[in-house]
Amino acid sequence: MVKKNLALTTLSALALSACAAGPDIVVPSLPPAATGPYLSAEAQAVSPTPLPTEWWRLYNDPVLDGLVEDTLRANTDIRQAVARIARARAGLRGARADRLPQTDIGGGANYARLPESSVPAGARREDWAFDVGVEIGYEVDFFGRVSGGIEAARLDLAATTADADAIRVIAVADTTRAYADAASAAARLQVARDIVALLDRSLALTRKRHDAGMENGLAVARIETLREQRASQIPAIEAERRAALFALATLTGKAPAELPSIAGERSVALEISVPLPVGEGRDLLARRPDVQAAEQRLAANTARIGVATADLYPRITFGGSLGASGPNIGDLFDGGALRFLLGSLINWAFPNQEPARARIAAAEAATQESLAAFDNTVLRALQDTETALTYYARALDRRRALQAAKAAASRAAAITRARQREGIVNSLELLDSERTLAEARAELADQDGEISRRQIDLFRVLGGGWDRQGSSL
């Protein structure tokens, strides 16, 4: 009879549905214009060569390479992201466990006194009672509730892994940026000191000419004012350099005092002097971890529609139990105390299925939200990249103009100094030329640092750092 009932239950379930409920997971489409060359890619600035995996090595700086390795190993944001991956992996393991039979083992011992009316004449009213048993239940996943939950958990894990990659991209870019800022500040610091030294020489010469009656006190005061103005910028630049080193220490998982001194020894701006390899739009969308995470979350929410839809159908469980009871522990192993039960259970929320349909509607809305988030992420990625390309190209243009301005100011200052020595011009004219040269040198040093930042920003938005395997994009 038991076998007959089990067979009838199975046939009834198969008649209701032969496949999992819910929609299939569909890969979102990309705008055709998003997969071609970048609009803002200029030959003198970038090339369509694919971005190398470890882009920071293009700077050919072993110190930077070591700092990035420290970041990938010890950065606290990355460690938190890795912990979130472990949590998502545990969730997937729990979802997969639902596919296995569920077991429950229990036992107990009680000492009880029974009412006199409930015990046979002459029997003891007070005694021990022992019980032990095991129960096994297995849900037959006809409608995809369990498999859909597993698929959703797997996709959640993939999204969490992509999130961790995004954090790695940011951490590496921030490390490179902090190192570049420290180097740029050191270069600017040297330029500022050179300008002050040059003004010191001009001031000394002007004072000699004043003592000889060839210059008035106004010339001395104005050159001295310019010298002090330029000297006042040195402490601020030094503070920027130290702040960049402190940030570098935190990014690499160290206290400020633990950062190796070699990290702050570079005094030349960090720069790649050849066109940057940036690839094309398809490379970008296949590589950006935030795009990958958005795609995986969309797929996970689509899978949850199937999980919610499965609640419209019966939940079928096969199970059984085995146990024994008796007044003595030894009685538990006596065949007469043994009991067992086999059977099936059907749970079905019917006819009121409105709660299940509400959950389906919520899952569908979440999927639509995820689709919009995916589209937004793709568009933002393209926007960020085009913007970074534009800023980088224009930064190169501005530096070329500043280089020309600095060369012209250097020639003008040299001519003015020579004419002052010959007594043709006074110190105020020299002051103007020295001021122009100082401003040109300082602006050029600042722009060298800006080039470094724009390069790193471009690599950041390109999502460089890791190959994306298994993406459907």
pLDDT of residue 336: 66
Looking at the predicted structure, is the pLDDT value of residue 126 above 90? no
Looking at the predicted structure, is the pLDDT value of residue 284 above 70? yes
Looking at the predicted structure, is the pLDDT value of residue 14 above 50? no
pLDDT in tens, 351-367: 999 999 999 999 999 99
pLDDT of residue 326: 79
pLDDT of residue 37: 87
pLDDT in tens, 149-168: 999 999 999 999 999 999 99
Distance CA 288, CA 391 (A): 20
Mean pLDDT of the chain: 88
Q: Which residues, including other chains, have CB under 8 Å from residue 203's CB and lie 6 or more apart?
A: 220, 223, 224, 227
pLDDT in tens, 419-432: 877 778 777 787 78
pLDDT in tens, 174-191: 999 999 999 999 999 999
What is the amino acid identity at position 330? G
Looking at the predicted structure, is the pLDDT value of residue 381 above 90? yes
Looking at the predicted structure, is the pLDDT value of residue 288 above 70? yes
pLDDT of residue 392: 97
